Amino acid sequence: MLTDKGLKGKVQLTGLGLPSEMAEYIESGVCQWMYLWNPLDVGYLAGYAADGLVKGKITGKVGDKFVAGKLGEKKVIADGEGTQVMLGDPFKFDAKNIGEWKSVY
- pLDDT above 70 covers a percentage of the chain that reads 95
pTM: 0.68
Examine the pLDDT at 69 and tell me if it is beyond 80: yes
What confidence tens digit (pLDDT) does each residue in 2-44 have?
A: 677 777 677 777 767 899 999 998 998 888 999 998 888 999 9
CA–CA dist 77, 4 (Å, integer): 46
Q: Which residue has the higher pLDDT, 79 or 12?
A: 79
Examine the pLDDT at 78 and tell me if it is beyond 90: yes
Which of 49, 22, 24 has its CA nearest to residue 105? 22
End-to-end C-alpha distance for the chain, whole angstroms: 24
H helical segments located in 1-105: 19-28, 39-54, 98-101
CA–CA dist 19, 21 (Å, integer): 5
